[in-house]
């Protein structure tokens, strides 16, 4: 059982709850999405494991998750990156946003999502319990594939690429 941080609309901590309960009831909570690029400006994607309780088998950003209750967000992003891909790198938060999405299985994402970005030339060691496949892809190829095949990607990932890709590109340009 994983206890995560419940927040208000301004991302102030207001309590804690079990992760699955939060997603069943649509309770607003804190989350993060990590985008790791290599020196060729390719993004490390993962296809979520087939047994995930929502969005199984869909392609998404490098990794995402929730800080545990009482855990600093900056500690949580590094913990989760190591748990999912077996490496760590310098990460910088570049923005946050709120989104709400309802899934076919009745679960609801209602998150303030903090987006972190990093650059690393690594050979990932994916956790098979979390990741079915992985690949590096350019943002141009990714945007084209999302436009042609949106059903292959997680809701939050599509949302970030469609609405905030300019922020990712700005970071990459500044960190060449």
The residues annotated as belonging to the active site are 64, 111
Q: What is the Cα–Cα distance from 119 to 49, expressed in whole angstroms?
A: 24
Query: What radius of gyration, in Å, describes the C-alpha atoms of the chain?
Result: 15
Q: What is the Cα–Cα distance from 51 to 5, expressed in whole angstroms?
A: 24
Distance set, CA 1 to CA 4, 20, 69, 106, 137 (Å): 10, 9, 12, 20, 34
Report the interhelical angle of 155-174 vs 139-148 (nearest 10°).
160
E strands present in 38-171: 42-48, 59-60, 63-65, 92-102, 108-119, 131-138
Interior angle at CA 30, CA 33 and CA 129, nearest 5: 55
Q: What is the Cα–Cα distance from 159 to 167, expressed in whole angstroms?
A: 13
Name the region of 106 (left: φ>0; alpha: ψ -120 to 50; beta: rest): left
């Amino acid at each position: 059982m994983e206890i995560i941080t419940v927040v208000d609309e301004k991302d102030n901590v207001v309590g804690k709850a079990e992760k699955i309960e939060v997603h069943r009831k649509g309770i607003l909570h804190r989350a993060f999405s990590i985008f790791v690029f290599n020196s060729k400006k390719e993004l490390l994607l993962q296809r979520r494991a087939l047994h995930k309780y929502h969005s199984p088998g869909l392609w998404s950003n490098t990794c995402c998750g929730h800080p545990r209750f009482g855990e600093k967000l900056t500690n949580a992003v590094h913990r989760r990156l190591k748990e999912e891909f077996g490496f760590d790198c310098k990460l910088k938060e570049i923005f946050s946003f709120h989104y709400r999405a309802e899934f076919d299985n009745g679960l609801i994402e209602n998150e303030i999502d903090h987006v972190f970005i990093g650059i690393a030339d690594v050979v990932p060691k994916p956790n098979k319990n979390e990741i079915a496949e992985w690949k590096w892809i350019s943002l141009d190829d990714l945007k084209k594939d999302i436009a042609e095949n949106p059903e292959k990607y997680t809701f939050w990932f599509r949302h970030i690429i469609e609405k905030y890709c300019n922020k990712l590109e700005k970071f990459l340009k500044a960190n060449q």
